[in-house]
Structures are given as structure tokens and as C-alpha cells.
Structure 1
Amino acid sequence: MRGGLAMNRRPLFKFRQAGIPTLRSVKIKILLCGCVALTLLAISNRNCGSSPSLLGWTGDVPSIDRYSSPRGRYAIVMNTWKRYDLLKKSISHYASCPRLDSIHIVWSEPDPPSVSLQRFLNHVVGLNSRVGPRIELIVDINKKDSLNNRFKDIKDLKADAVFSIDDDVIFPCSSVEFAFTVWQSAPDTMVGYVPRMHWVNEKEGKDKYIYGGWWSVWWTGTYSMVLSKAAFFHKKYLKLYTDEMPASIKEYITRNRNCEDIAMSFLVANATGAPPIWVKGKIFEIGSTGISSLGGHSETRTECVNKFAAEFGRMPLVSTSLKAIDSRNVWFW
């Protein structure tokens, strides 16, 4: 009898042994299928710019706002100086961006642009206007050479948003479109790609400040300015800069050929009491040199910060650690 039981149990034990690896393999296959499905879903959301993202806000806006209203499009104000090849590359690139309304080139050279240069720029803008809304190209010729010219009030500007950009930096249109959408959510503040900061110079007192460059932002994770070499702001600040910026500050900028971007940051912060917004974006610098490469640049900028704070009667800049990131272009955010 016992022998019979032993013989009956042996096949059952073998069946259980065989069933364990079978069950494990089924579980592994289910997990693998789930991982593959989630991966495909994530890739689908990353590649579909117009569909909602499962991970967060995609930056999409209602279609009624996209082209029809003043806030649905933006104007580029580009500062340039005797770098015609860079100007051609920049205009050729930005003219293809979908929600661009107009391009205003700030020209402060003693000689007007050549006929061949104007013909080229009109040609590339005209080509892109064939496949979308007409883009207006205007060369604003200034008699006086001053960095203040880039913030001169523009009459009859249709778009509310101004994208201030230098001729030697290029951002992908998708990145510009995202920054523009961020600006639409906070149209009174500055939204840009190049953050800078200030902090109190404790050695000299609470009313003395130090200008901090990119490495200061990277180290501390905070900023209080976004530079106008690549930033969105409302067109009303052009008029405010032209009419209300203290003459002493504008004269200082003209004389030293520096710090007009800091002055605009002061102006907007003073008007809003709020910090700017830093947008993450890949920058392509197509120029070789600039004033930031000159010796004593940080010291000059520190002098500007203290000069402007004294003229405003206070420090209007507000520090923040906020950064806007397009969730469609990152795996984790």
C-alpha cells in the first residue's frame, strides 16, 4: 500500500517541477510584452507633436489663437553689425518658422544695406511666405550707432510678442515655437534661453551686487535675468524702454557698448515684480567672437548691475529656479 502511494506521488512531483519553469516563463513574457507596449506608447507620444502628452503639458494652444490673433504670432527683432553671412544664415533659418509674423533687422551701420543683400533677404523670406502666411521684412536703419536701437519702439507692430535675437545664434524652429507658447502663458514676463544671475556682494554691503555668468547659474541652480540675445517679451516694453528708461542709463549703454540686455531685464522686472522664465533649448552659435569674450567682461557687467540698481533706486531683479522644459523631447522630466 505504501509502495503504491510512493509510486503515485512521484509523477505528481514531476508535474509540479515541470509547471514551475512554465509559469515563470509565462510571467516573464507578460512583463516583456508590457515593457514593449509602454516603450512603443512613449515613442508614439514623443513623435506626435499635436497629440496630448501622457507625461505633462505639451505646449499646444487652441487653433483659434495660432494665427488669427496678435498673440497667435510673433515678430523677430534681430540685432546685427557687419556680419552679412551670419545675417543671411539667420534670416534664412527663422523665415521658415511657422508662427513668425515679421522680421525687423536693427541696422546701426553708417552705410545702408547693399542692394544685393536686401535682394537676397527678400528672396528667402518670399520663398517661405509661399507655403504659409506672408512674412514682412523690414530693415530699420538708425542714424546713431547705439545698442539702445534694438529696443526702439516699433510703430504699427501687429504681433504682441517680440522675439529679440542676435544674428549669430540659431535655435530650431520647434524650440522657438515652444518658448513662444511658454510666453503666451505669461505674456508680461521675459521668456528666454540664456539665463544670468546677480547676488549681493556681502563684502561691500547689502546694496552692492555681483553679476553672475552661466557657470554661476549652473552651480547655484538659480537665475534672475534672461538675456535679450534670445528672449521673448511683450512689445509694450519697447515703448516703455524708449519713453521711460532713464536717459543716464541709455547714455551709459551707448558709451560703453554693453549691458542693454541687463537694462531690459531691469525694466521688465521693475514693471512686473516677477522673475523671468528660462526655457531649455539647444543653442547653435554661428559667430566666432562677441563682447562676452573680451577681458574684464564680468567686471563690466557687475558695474552695470550696480549702476542700474542705483538709477532705479532699488534692485528689481527677482531670483528663481524655474525652468521650462518641453516634455515631448525628454524621457524623464
Structure 2
Amino acid sequence: MAPGPVGPTGSTVCSATIAAGDGDCESTERSRLRADLASASPSMQPRPRHRLLLLLLHLLVALAGAAVSHSHGGAAEDAACRAANRTGGAEASLRADRLTVLLSGYSERRLPLLRAIAGAYAAHPLVHAVLVLWCNPATPPRLLLRGGGGFPRGVALRRAASASLNSRFLPRPADIRTAAVAVADDDVLPDAAALSFAFTTWQQQQQRGNSAPLVGFFPRSHHLDLARGRWAYTAAEPGRYSMVLTKFMVLGTGLLYSYSCAPGLAPARAVVDRERNCEDILMNFVAAEESGAGPVLVDAGSVRDWGDPRNDANAAGADEEGGVMKDVGLSAAGGLRHWEKRGECITEFHRLLGRMPLRYSYGKVVEATVGDQGLCSKGGRLVRCDQE
């Protein structure tokens, strides 16, 4: 048999067209490969070495996947959804006359303010429970439980396994015993009248259908940017809006399960983890999809917002060292890029879902004014006629 072509190292390489039965070249080549491997690692035979390399590769891939899942809260989502599935059918036993407040915290600088806000919520007669969801895994426990007092009575602390913003919407059947929840930031506090009115408005919306829309105080909108071929995220237009923010929103408890456990939303939740942003936009998508309606904006009482960058610098709120609070939030830190990124989120959610569920709402729900609406001239001024 004629020798085959010569390889780059001078060794003979078997032809690809060896006839059946002419196995001499194949046998020689296998022997040469075994010899090369043995010389490279004399103490290890080639097959065990290959198996070990494959085993190490699989182990590294598994560890990397576990790390990504853990850092993005995937394991927490799975556990919460399993717990919610085990309590399926318990919705009928949820209290409709009270709500649970889910108060998110991350910044250690805001802890004094967070404690005060949590205590104010817990004192409200319509609040059944307050859960502080601490989403900063790096915070030492001693800082959260400073002086042994921790948070006020009636406030439960739940530490998230990761910093994932999706943790805000995890179903928590062991903690939530109400049909509605209020999701709130750690630098916003509606007064008692505003909180009561927002919850009452949600109850009225719930009575009209199977799934009530979101109710909130802080509106935003979206529109299609035809020049750029993408969605834009904007402030509420005059008389029209399509989203409310998680600065404060009231929603049905069932939406927590829809957001966190729907397999079809997994890619969208991954966007939230990747961008560290836009969880409120995704919840608006979910709520609009289920209710078929836009959110409801309410106007009652007053809502203190320490995180708004328009606060006066010396009156925005401070930590124990006197540091200003207002520059801690995502929107304050991001500037125009923050708005651009949120527009990109809307575009990406639309692409992933294959549809645009957001609906525009018009007007707002306001507290009824008891008394005459007519105006009379009194003392050279126009005032309500029933005003003394």
C-alpha cells in the first residue's frame, strides 16, 4: 500500500479514501496519536484524560449557570413560584378590606428614612402588614437590626437573595394575606388620606372586572418614535398616560404571580436583570395585558417624595451624617440616559412579547368635594359660595 500524504509534522496521514480491509494506515495513525498523547502526559492515558477534561468543562458550565441564576434572582423566583403553586386556590381567603405594603429598600443611607416610612405605613388602619424587602445582599445584618430594635412593630424584614429588581414582585403567599398590595419605594410616603383613597379606588376597579388595572400617583407615558423606529418613554402627556411608577402603586396580589411565574415572561425578566431597570414598566405590561385597560391615576391628599431631584438641596432629607438623599435613586443618577434606557426597555418588551399591551388612560380620579361647586364674589375674590 502506498504511503498517504505527509502531515505538517512529517508524519504520514491516512487517506480519506482507504478501501475496506486496508486498515494498516488507520491502525498506524491510531498508534501514533496514542503515542503523541502519552508523550504529552506520560502518567495519564488519553481516554481518562479526555473524560476528566469533559467533566471539568461540564462542571464549569454548571457553576457559571448557577452563579448567573443566583445573581439574577432566578432561584428565588423558582422557589416563590413553587410556594405559590402549593397554595393555589387560596385567593378566596385573601382579605379584600385591607392591603399589604411591599416596601423596597437598597440604600443603607436611606435606612433611617425607610424605618420612619415603614412605621407610618404600619400605623395606617387599612394596612394589614408591611414587608420591607431588602435587596442589598452586601448589607451586614447588624446594620439592619441596629440596637436590637430593627424596624418598628408590625413591620417584617425580608432579605432578598440577590439585588434583582424582579424581587419586588415575587409572590409571597406566606406573608401576603390580602387581595391587594401596595408596592412602594423607600423615599415616598402618601399621607393617610391619599393611601386610603388609592386603595378605595383599586377596590372599585376590582369590582368591575376580574383583574383591576394598576392604581398610582406618578404617571408616565410612551409613544412611537417614527423617525427612529422605536418606542420612547416620556413624562405623562397633558390628559394622557399609559403607566404608573412603583414609587407607589396598588395592584392585585395575583399580578405578582403573573409577573414572576409566567414562563413567557422569562426573557423580559432577564432584560430587567440585565439593565437593572424597568421592572415597573414590565409590570405595567402585565397589568394592561390582564385587565385590558390602562392604569388609573389618583389625586388625593398629599404624597411626600424625598427622592425627587427637584427637592431643594437643604430640604431633601438626609441620613445620619447629613448626606442628601435625593441623589441615590436610579432616575436621579441616570439623567437623560435613564429615559433613553427605559424607552429601549419598552421596545425590547414589545419585541419579546410580540404585542403592545399598554393602553392609554385619560383623566384622573379625584376626591369628591362635598358642598356647592358654585363661585360667589366675597370680599373682592371669587370663592366657593359655601366658604365663609
Task: State whether TM-score is above 0.5.
Answer: yes
Partner of 2:167: 149
SS at match of 2:272: helix
Matches within 5 A, 1:308-319: 308-319=349-360
Partner of 2:103: 78
Partner of 2:330: 291
Partner of 2:149: 120
Does residue 277 in structure 1 map to residue 296 in structure 2? Answer: yes
Change in 2 beyond 3 A, CA 1:269/1:108: same
Amino acid at match of 1:291: L
- Return 273-282 or 112-121, whichever deviates more: 112-121
Provide the rounded CA distance (Å) in 2 between the counterparts of 1:145 and 1:108.
Answer: 5
> How far apart are 1:118 and its partner, in Å?
8.4
SS at match of 2:183: strand
Amino acid at match of 1:201: D
Aligned positions, number:
249
Q: Report the aligned-residue RMSD.
A: 2.2
Name the one with the larger helix percent.
1
> How far apart are 1:92 and its partner, in Å?
2.0
- Work out which structure has the larger RCO, using CA pairs closer than 8 Å and 6 or more positions apart in sequence: 1
Provide the rounded CA distance (Å) in 1 between the counterparts of 2:245 and 2:129.
Answer: 21
Partner of 2:178: 159
- 5+ residue gaps, structure 2, are 1-92, 207-211, 308-325, 375-388
> How far apart are 1:119 and its partner, in Å?
4.5
Change in 2 beyond 3 A, CA 1:143/1:101: same
Asked whether the 8 Å contact 1:79–1:167 carries over to 2, the reply is yes
> How far apart are 1:298 and its partner, in Å?
1.0
Partner of 1:196: 220
> How far apart are 1:69 and its partner, in Å?
7.0
Partner of 1:242: 260
Matches within 5 A, 1:3-152: 70-81=95-106, 82=108, 83-110=110-137, 111=139, 113-114=141-142, 116-117=145-146, 119-122=148-151, 124-125=152-153, 135=154, 137-152=155-170
Change in 2 beyond 3 A, CA 1:261/1:247: same
Provide the rounded CA distance (Å) in 1 between the counterparts of 2:277 and 2:372.
Answer: 39
Amino acid at match of 1:84: L
> How far apart are 1:89 and its partner, in Å?
1.6
Change in 2 beyond 3 A, CA 1:323/1:243: same
SS at match of 2:172: coil
> What TM-score does the superposition give when structure 2 sets the normalisation length?
0.60
Partner of 1:186: 205
Superimposed CA distance per residue, residues 205-263 of structure 1 (whole angstroms, 9 cap, x where no aligned partner):
4xx311112xxx2x422000111220000000111111016222212211211100001
- Return 177-186 or 110-119, whichever deviates more: 110-119
SS at match of 1:327: coil
> How far apart are 1:312 and its partner, in Å?
1.3
Partner of 1:209: 231
Provide the rounded CA distance (Å) in 1 between the counterparts of 2:191 and 2:371.
Answer: 16
- Return 234-243 or 248-257, whichever deviates more: 248-257
Superimposed CA distance per residue, residues 83-116 of structure 1 (whole angstroms, 9 cap, x where no aligned partner):
2112112112212211100011111222354364
> How far apart are 1:165 and its partner, in Å?
0.4
> How far apart are 1:330 and its partner, in Å?
9.8
Asked whether the 8 Å contact 1:80–1:87 carries over to 2, the reply is yes
Dislocated runs of 4+, deviation >3 Å: 115-122, 328-333
Provide the rounded CA distance (Å) in 1 between the counterparts of 2:228 and 2:112.
Answer: 45
> Taking every aligned residue pair, what percent have the same amino acid on both sides?
31
Asked whether the 8 Å contact 2:94–2:179 carries over to 1, the reply is no
> What TM-score does the superposition give when structure 1 sets the normalisation length?
0.70
Provide the rounded CA distance (Å) in 2 between the counterparts of 1:241 and 1:100.
Answer: 23
Which one of 301, 317, 321 corresponds to residue 342 of structure 2? Answer: 301
Amino acid at match of 1:242: S
Amino acid at match of 1:231: M
Which has the greater radius of gyration?
2
Asked whether the 8 Å contact 1:112–1:141 carries over to 2, the reply is no
Asked whether the 8 Å contact 2:179–2:252 carries over to 1, the reply is yes
Provide the rounded CA distance (Å) in 2 between the counterparts of 1:330 and 1:113.
Answer: 53
SS at match of 2:221: strand
Superimposed CA distance per residue, residues 255-277 of structure 1 (whole angstroms, 9 cap, x where no aligned partner):
21110000100011111211110
